[in-house]
Structure formats: C-alpha cells, structure tokens
Chains A and B, each alone.
Chain A
C-alpha cells in the first residue's frame, strides 16, 4: 500500500455523489466584487449543475441557479426561513462528509507517517475512533431530520486542503484547521438545536464538540513537538494553517463578522488551545472575503439570469434546430 493518497482516491459506496472541488476553491479566494463573483459562478454553472443532478440540491439549483450555495452558505440557519429544512439538511450532510474525511485523514496519518513518535500514533488512533463515531452520529442525525446519505453531492475539499504530506502540516491542517472549523460549526448547531428545542441534536453535537476540543489540543501539542528547535519550520507550518483557515472560511461565511453564517467559536477555541493572537489573526483573514451584501447581490443576479435563461429556453423550444 502506497503512502499518501489524493482526495480523488477516497473510496465511497454507490450512494455518494462527488462534486468537483474547484467551486469551493474559487469561493475561498473570491474578492469583494459582485461582478467577479457572478462571473466565477456562471463559469462553474455547468459543473455545479452536473454535480447536483439527481440529488436533493437539484431543486435548489432549479430555483436559484448556480449561486444557490451563496444563499445556503451565507445565511444563518433559521427554521422559519424559506427552504429552512433543506438548508439544515445540506449543512448536516456537509458535516457528515466532513467527519468522514476527518476519519480518513486521522486514520491515514497512521499509515503515512510510520516513523512518527508512538504517542502521536496513539493520538491519531484515538481520533480515528472518535471520527468514526462522529460519522455514525451525523448519519443518525441526518436521518433524524428526514435526510439520507448521498442526498447532496460531496466535496472532498476538506481532505484536499488539510491532508499535507508533512506531519506537522497534516496536524496543523486537520487538527487545527479542520477541527477548528468543526468547533465553530458545532457551536452554531448547538445554538440552532436550543432554538428549535431539539434535545437529541443538542446533546449529540455537544458531545462531538467536546471530542473536537481534544483533537485540536492534539494538533496544538504535535505542531509544537514536530517543529521544536526549528523556528523556520514552525513559521511554514503556521502559514500552511493560515492558508487552510482562509480556505475553510468559505469567503467569509465562517468568520467573526457580524453577518457571518458561522461565527468563530471564540471560547471553545481558547479552551482547545488556540491563543488570543491566533484568533485575532483568524478573524482578520476569514473576514477579508466578499461581504454578505456582495454575495446577496451576486446571488440575486445569478438567480435572475438563471430564470431568464430558463424562460428563454421555454419560449423557443426549437432553438438550435436548423430550419
């Protein structure tokens, strides 16, 4: 068995639908410019349409066009909002596949770094069990909400970004970048469950969040250990984590901005071992993407153009047929 695998090689059963990661990558680096956001999404439109075909996201594409993800990602979860359940399921499915990739990342660290210290292997083995349980938990929560595995396409963007071939960067990416994002998302999910009185979801996600704090701590300790006595290596590792954090901010959807769909879980992150300085840095770099106003404006234009295109194809059914 070879060391290191690419995200395209992650094995899935027939229920899963794979989404191209290019969309997530582009979203992570968009500027605060309406026209630019519209252009990028129009360019990706055929790819987005193909990836949602046959999934529960297909009606969202039909209704909102290629920018449907902008609406989903950039609005806080609200049970009373239109398509509130679909958006909740989309987020829950995203968490489920995120946990799956975290399981694969942690377990793979055991194989990819055979010469790592024994305590590192013990931590990764423990994390593999925890992530396996998290996959089971979110599969059950998905079902609890009326959803199912494979109802939305899976982007393997998290694995692609976080799974470096360097051990310090792997733990910086997976345990501090990905698991840090999990802290933010889960705190938000707990608040949502409190709001809707969903005790089952609240308790389950609270347990998962407790595990994630432990995983972030593993990351903080191993980054320190792997880079000790090598400030240059530590600097490169921190830069790598900043890049991952920027990508995992989804253009500002996860940030410390007032309009963020997923706020940074400041207290949980401090408890997990992030420093104030790191969190200030995270708030700054995650908030530098397009503003919510820009994204809403872009989503509106994309929706209008999508509707116009659909109407045009309806009114001229023989378009493209040579007379």
Chain B
C-alpha cells in the first residue's frame, strides 16, 4: 500500500486524506464513449419499439376471446401484461431522451409499410386460426424484435445510453420466455404435415412483408456502416 496522499483542498485545515487504490484493485473500464445512435436517433427507436409493443399488447388482447384453446387464453394473459410493461418502460424512457414530459405514451411506426405489416399480423380472427395468430407473433414479430433490441444494445453507447440497454435487456429476457412458450404451443397445435404447412406459409408471408418494410425501425436493409 502506498503512502496516504493529501487531497488538494483550499487550505491545510480543510485537506482530507484518502487511500489511493492501485490499478489492480478495480478492473479498468474498457468501454469507449461511442455508439451508433445519438439522443434523437435513440428516441426515435424507442418510439418505434413502443409502437410494436403497444400493438402487440392490443392484438393479443383482442385474440383472447377468439382463441378456443383454454391454456392459450390463460397463457396470453401474462404475456399481455408483460408486453404492456415493455411498452410502458419504453415510453418512460422518452422524456429522458429530451422528448418532453408528455411523450410517455408516444408510439410511432417507422414507416407506413411496418404499420401495414402489423395490420397483417392482426388479421386472423376466426377461432380455427390459432396457428396463424400465434405464428405471426411468436415466429415472426417477437423474434424480430428480440434481434433488433439485441443489436441496439450492442451498438448504442454503453455508458451514455446505459438506461436504454438496461430496459431492453429486461424486455429481451422476458421475450425469450414468451417465444419459447409460443413455439411450444405452436408445435403442439401444428401436429401433422397439413398444419405444419399452414404455419410455414403464414411465417413466410409475414417475413416477406416484414423485410420489405425494413422492420420495426425501417432500417433492416440499410448498410450497417451508416450512423443513426
């Protein structure tokens, strides 16, 4: 241990002492102050994410009464609540990103094509279309959101934008559980080649529409080198 050093105060009476730490006491912070998104770009992303989460909550709520399978109805209850919480924390991040106090319920689609894609996910209504309903959410929309959230967490500034990383991390943790549940249900519902084919057709159609829209942020097709 090195000798105690004096803190440079205003006068000798005011000086305090502290024990200096060596370079080995605390691991060096190797993070760099750099990120792909500035404040405005991250606020836009949060509004885009919130749009997807809010719509997902609403459409799952609409479907509960139209789905005959009892364990699916009850299982969706919890997912609806956790989706609402995801939209809520994304909204609460917006005032922190200089969007104003009233921005907590601001949702925004990245473009018209993504809004149309969401309406396509909402389309199935009849009770015999549980496969089409769940495939749209658990095979297409949710996995897409997880991919984009993870990419956002990797690419944003790890120190400056840590609050966004924290909230996305928590959403992704729950989303993984939702996707596992949804896919297990879909596997059980899609026993037999004809039913599996219905699931494949639905997934292919929606994936095509999703990619054409550019996804939740509208930037899926853009070169990754571009900032924001």
Binding site for B on A (CB under 8 A): 1-2, 5, 9-13, 100, 103-104, 106-112, 114, 117-118, 121-122, 124-126, 128-133, 135-136, 139, 149
> What is the bound-complex CA distance between A173 and B127, given in angstroms?
25
Q: Across the two chains, which residue of chain A brings its CB closest to B79?
A: A129
- For residue A230, give the distance in angstroms from its CB to the closest CB of chain B: 23
> What is the bound-complex CA distance between A125 and B54, given in angstroms?
11
Check if B169 is an interface residue, CB within 8 A of chain A: no
Q: Across the two chains, which residue of chain A brings its CB closest to B104?
A: A118
13 contacts between A and B (CB under 8 A): A1-B124, A9-B65, A107-B61, A108-B61, A111-B58, A117-B105, A118-B104, A125-B57, A126-B84, A128-B81, A130-B77, A132-B78, A133-B78
Mostly helix, strand, loop or mixed at chain B's interface? Answer: helix
Contacts of B58 in A (CB 8 A): 110-111, 114, 121
Contacts of A111 in B (CB 8 A): 58-59, 61-62
Check if B226 is an interface residue, CB within 8 A of chain A: no
Interface string of B122-159 (1 = CB under 8 A from A): 11110100000000000000000000000000000000
> What is the bound-complex CA distance between A10 and B127, given in angstroms?
9
Do residues A2 and B125 form an inter-chain contact, with CB atoms below 8 A? yes
Check if B75 is an interface residue, CB within 8 A of chain A: yes
Check if B68 is an interface residue, CB within 8 A of chain A: yes
Q: Across the two chains, which residue of chain B brings its CB closest to A159?
A: B65
Within B97-117, which residues are at the interface with A (CB < 8 Å)? 104-105
Contacts of A124 in B (CB 8 A): 61
- For residue A97, give the distance in angstroms from its CB to the closest CB of chain B: 11
Q: Name the contact of B61 in the complex, choosing from A11, A100, A125 (C-beta under 8 A).
A: A125
Q: Across the two chains, which residue of chain A brings its CB closest to B105?
A: A118
Contacts of B77 in A (CB 8 A): 103, 107, 128-133
Do residues A107 and B64 form an inter-chain contact, with CB atoms below 8 A? yes
Contacts of A128 in B (CB 8 A): 61, 64, 76-77, 80-81
Do residues A129 and B81 form an inter-chain contact, with CB atoms below 8 A? yes
Given A118-B91, A125-B57, A129-B81, decide whether A107 and B65 contact each other with a Cβ distance below 8 A.
Answer: yes
Check if B63 is an interface residue, CB within 8 A of chain A: yes
- For residue B105, give the distance in angstroms from its CB to the closest CB of chain A: 4
Check if B1 is an interface residue, CB within 8 A of chain A: no
For this complex, into which size category does the number of interface residues on chain B fall?
20 to 34
> What is the bound-complex CA distance between A132 and B64, given in angstroms?
10
Check if B30 is an interface residue, CB within 8 A of chain A: no
Do residues A125 and B81 form an inter-chain contact, with CB atoms below 8 A? yes
Contacts of B60 in A (CB 8 A): 107, 110
Check if B73 is an interface residue, CB within 8 A of chain A: yes
> What is the bound-complex CA distance between A13 and B76, given in angstroms?
16
Do residues B65 and A125 form an inter-chain contact, with CB atoms below 8 A? no
> What is the bound-complex CA distance between A176 and B74, given in angstroms?
22
Check if B228 is an interface residue, CB within 8 A of chain A: no
Do residues B73 and A135 form an inter-chain contact, with CB atoms below 8 A? yes
Do residues B74 and A1 form an inter-chain contact, with CB atoms below 8 A? no
Q: Across the two chains, which residue of chain B brings its CB closest to A131?
A: B77
Q: Across the two chains, which residue of chain B brings its CB closest to A105?
A: B65
Given A118-B105, A125-B61, decide whether A11 and B78 contact each other with a Cβ distance below 8 A.
Answer: no
- For residue B108, give the distance in angstroms from its CB to the closest CB of chain A: 14
> What is the bound-complex CA distance between A117 and B105, given in angstroms?
9
> What is the bound-complex CA distance between A109 and B57, given in angstroms?
11
> What is the bound-complex CA distance between A165 and B106, given in angstroms?
25
Contacts of A122 in B (CB 8 A): 84, 88
- For residue B162, give the distance in angstroms from its CB to the closest CB of chain A: 25
Check if B23 is an interface residue, CB within 8 A of chain A: no
Contacts of A114 in B (CB 8 A): 58
Check if B39 is an interface residue, CB within 8 A of chain A: no
Check if B66 is an interface residue, CB within 8 A of chain A: yes
Q: Name the contact of A110 in the complex, choosing from B57, B66, B88, B125 (C-beta under 8 A).
A: B57
> What is the bound-complex CA distance between A199 and B103, given in angstroms?
48
Check if B167 is an interface residue, CB within 8 A of chain A: no
Contacts of B62 in A (CB 8 A): 1, 107-108, 110-112
> What is the bound-complex CA distance between A1 and B133, given in angstroms?
11
Contacts of B81 in A (CB 8 A): 125-126, 128-129
- For residue B81, give the distance in angstroms from its CB to the closest CB of chain A: 4
Q: Name the contact of A1 in the complex, choosing from B54, B57, B63 (C-beta under 8 A).
A: B63
Do residues A110 and B61 form an inter-chain contact, with CB atoms below 8 A? yes
